[in-house]
Amino acid sequence: MVQSIDRAFDVLEALALANDDLSVSELSERLNLPIATVHRLLSSLAARGYVTQEASTRRYGPGPRLLEIAARAAQSRRFDLIRIVRAELVKLTAETGETSNLIIRQGDAAVYQEQIPSPHLVRMFTEVGQRTPLYCTGGGKAILSALPASELEQYLATGRFERWTNKTITDRDHLRTELAIARERGFAIDDEEREEGVCCVAAPIFDRRGQVVGAISLSGPSNRLDRVRAEALGPRVRAAALACSRQLGFHTDI
């Protein structure tokens, strides 16, 4: 029974990942299964609507029931962004002693959606719901670094880049380069660019379509979380964001 279930899933995954419908023999070859076994599995899956056969070609593809189940599953609380991210934020703050945040994009603003505060007396007091510019915050820069090139260029062309500190990046070419670096290494840094004495490191979160839906950030006073420590923590923050992305259905091969 277990073997039959595994093979049925193998068939579904092969059909879902194929660019076009497949014949019984093609599935048999891809899955290294006897043609009779593949035909039996396809018949059972087609009867439930998970597989569809094209009458004219006799080839098989994903059925409408598969889309229906996937759409319903996507609405489950299991895939709630805050629920998923909060568990990673708790771990990050416990490991680092710094405030961790979930940040999403709303227009040209980065909005704090969830937060686990640092246990230190001296910590960040950014509140959930607070809006800050994308271009000069760690979470905002992480989100920008993950945008499609055309969308990023539109933001750079139309955005207004106000100087908040003497470290704020207001030059478009400089910001473009900074975001390219962040995209390559998978995390962004705000080195006192929004507020003097505050440093932040952040990484983007992706959904099942590979689209950025938010960012995880760590923030703290620069005398404790300076640029050197922020860069050292970057891979850990990136790993936390990737763990969240995977729970949302993201695959690194997208």
Please tell me the distance from the alpha carbon of residue 196 to that of residue 221, in angstroms, as a whole number: 9
Per residue in 52-73, pLDDT tens? Answer: 888 888 898 888 887 777 767 6
pLDDT at 43: 85
Q: What is the reported pLDDT for 129?
A: 80
Domain extent for 63 = 2-74
Domain count, the chain: 2
> Are 174 and 186 members of one domain?
yes
CA distance 206 to 254: 10
Q: How far apart are CA 64 and CA 42, in angstroms?
A: 14
Residue 12: inside a domain, yes or no?
yes
Find the DSSP H helices in the chain.
2-17, 24-31, 35-47, 64-74, 81-96, 138-145, 149-158, 172-185, 227-247
162 and 220, same domain (yes or no): yes
Angle at alpha carbon of residue 131, lines to 251 and 220, rounded to 5°: 75
**46 and 84 share a domain?**
no
What's the predicted TM-score (pTM) here?
A: 0.75
Cα(149)–Cα(134) distance, integer angstroms: 16
3-state secondary structure of 244: helix
Cβ–Cβ contacts within 10 Å for residue 57, how many?
A: 11
Output the CA angle 123-125-129, nearest 5 degrees.
Answer: 145
Q: Tell whether 252 is covered by a domain.
A: no
Report yes or no on 51 lying in a domain: yes
> Do 144 and 216 have their domain in common?
yes
Burial of 65 per CB tally in 10 Å (0-12, 13-18, 19+): middle
Residue 174 belongs to a domain: yes
Q: Residue 214 belongs to a domain with what CATH number?
A: 3.30.450.40
54 in any annotated domain: yes
Using 50 as the pLDDT threshold, list the residues of the chain that sit under it.
Answer: none
Contact 193, 134 (CB under 8 A): no
Pair (22, 141) in one structural domain: no
The residue among 21, 40, 74 that closes a domain is 74
Within-domain flag for 253: no
